[in-house]
Amino acid sequence: MKLTDYFLKQGKKNAPKSKALQLIEKVWPDIEYKKNIRPSMFVNEIFETIEKKFNPGNAVRGSIFEYLIMCVFFRENIVPFFCQGNLSFVPNVVFDFILFDLNKKPIIISVKTSSRERYKQVELESLAAKNVHRNARCIYITYEDDGAMIEKKIQSREITGIDEVYTTQDKEFDKLINELSKKNYLNPESVKIVKTGIQLG
């Protein structure tokens, strides 16, 4: 199934208007294509091809990365999830992705193409979430950067909101996706913790 049609079927109503998704579809038109390749290879191969062929701007690059992570969720059956969601009692923060395990524990996933200073924003958002939802698991995924610097800050307790950091360039990302794929998730509507956002899957 074409990517745009697949996302529409899953509930992403604005999918046909997404330039990022259109670019992904040009190099990888079918969500099921090469189903057995590792998630890291899937993300990196498509992202690198788009960079070389189309040289997208920074805003589109960020959207491409978000869509690729969503593709990974669908390919690995990590569903249902919310994208661009607000948690109850956490005002003015929009989280990239939110999953709920069977214990109603929020798993918050933030994605950025480059960490640089952006990790500070993710840290503040994670702290805001944990101030209300104390059992939340906050995961940070980047494309470009080695997460070693952020990992050191986590270990030294300089960072206390972000629990884990991964880069799609590393096999640890594949381990994370494998772990998440083995869990079962609640329909977010039944949790009544998410105020707004798009439920997919």
pLDDT at 118 over 80: yes
Interhelix angle 3-10/19-27, nearest 10 degrees? 130
pLDDT at 190 over 60: no
E strand map for the chain: 81-87, 95-100, 106-112, 137-142, 164-167, 194-200
Chain CA centroid to CA 39, Å = 12
- The structure tokens listed for 172 are 């640890």
Sign of CA dihedral 8, 11, 12, 14: positive
Write out pLDDT tens, residues 129-159.
Answer: 999 999 999 999 999 876 788 889 999 999 9
Sign of CA dihedral 181, 121, 11, 199: positive
Residue 185: DSSP 8-state: B
Give me Rg for the CA atoms of the chain.
Answer: 16
* CB contact burial 153-180 (16+ within 10 A = b; e otherwise): bbeeeebebbbbbbbbbeebbbebbeeb
Domain ranges of the chain: 3-75, 81-200
Which amino acid would we find at residue 59? A
> What average pLDDT does range 73-97 have in this prediction?
92
For residue 191, what pLDDT band results from cuts at 50, 70 and 90? low
- The structure tokens listed for 7 are 């996302």
Distance between CA 82 and CA 74 in Å, rounded?
A: 12
- CATH 1.10.60 assigned to domain 81-200? The reply is no
Asked if residues 44 and 168 have their Cβ atoms less than 8 Å apart, the reply is: yes
pLDDT at 89 over 90: no
Proportion of the chain above pLDDT 70, given as a percent: 96
